[in-house]
Structure 1
């Protein structure tokens, strides 16, 4: 009997970070998914809404509750020193746990940063890229 993993192997290559993210997401475990983020990282779960901390964790848990895998296709990775801009197409699709059909897709514009340990983590995870949110939106919530 195999033991359920409790961590994800991070990468020293920024171009592989989207793949690491997908592997973490596809475990369905929010604790594992949180490992691909810096502690203060910002997540944009819907256009115009930015969250950090516990609110980031809860927003990611909502995506995981669908019980569907994510596929990622990086378009561009631009790295300079310890910062990288990642442009990544993604799709979450299928029949969710609630029985309904789901298709969530977009082109993420993400920022990753190399930590002191040499591994890359998201500083900003913006899955819906340039999609517009409500007017006046975009401030981070830490609730």
Structure 2
């Protein structure tokens, strides 16, 4: 049941990010949570996390939709590690639909009232035993310089 409960929490958080409901999004984070904004840069605390999400929305020109792929959950006591693919759907500067694919990890802690709260949110994970490096012949996937993890850059149709 933990996997389903965490999936429900993560999907609700993704909807809040996509809708830019950052006040609502903060309900999913512990007071002292940490968000990895980019490799080498993390913020701690709800106020700073909220501010980071506002900046992320600005960076994507307010055209970001977040969704998740299949997840792996490792639970120990009141703590759970979640590893999954994260898909960031947006539009590039030329007006083309763009999907960024990242390997993300989240650490959740069950509160005293049984609610799962995110304590670590890291969308820049490279876990070689789960996701091997891209092959040269596969040009649809690339390591993003400084990205700390593999992303697939997939252009689709031009956005309207």
TM-score normalized by the length of structure 2? 0.65
Q: Secondary structure at the match of 1:13?
A: helix
Show the counterpart of 1:56. Answer: 49
- In the TM superposition, residue 12 of structure 1 has moved relative to its aligned partner by 8.3
Distance in 1 of aligned mates of 2:29 and 2:38: 18
Q: 1:100 to 1:38 in 2, by over 3 A?
A: farther
1:95 CA drift (Å) = 1.9
Distance 1:12 1:73 in 2: 13
How many residue pairs match? The answer is 122
Q: 2:33 matched to 1:37? A: no
Greater C-alpha Rg: 2
Q: Deviations over 1:100-134 (max 9, x none)?
A: 6554331111101111121111100011113539x
Match of 1:76 among 63, 72, 76: 72
State which of 110, 116, 122 in structure 2 corresponds to 1:120: 116
Higher strand proportion = 2
What residue ranges of structure 2 are gaps of 5+ in the alignment? 127-146, 150-160
Q: How big is the alpha-carbon RMSD for the aligned residues of Structure 1 and Structure 2?
A: 2.6
Structure 1 residues not aligned, in runs of 5+: 1-10, 134-143
* Aligned mates of 1:99, 1:40 — CA distance in 2: 39
Pairwise mapping of residues 1-143 of structure 1 onto structure 2 (< 5 A)?
A: 13-53=5-45, 54-65=47-58, 66=60, 67=62, 68-95=64-91, 103-130=99-126, 132=148
Runs (4 or more) in structure 1 with deviation over 6 Å come to none
Kindly indicate whether structure 1 or structure 2 has the higher relative contact order, using CA contacts under 8 Å at least 6 residues apart: 1
Please give the alpha-carbon distance, in whole angstroms, between the structure 2 residues aligned to 1:115 and 1:99: 45
C-alpha distance in 2, partners of 1:74/1:61?
Answer: 27
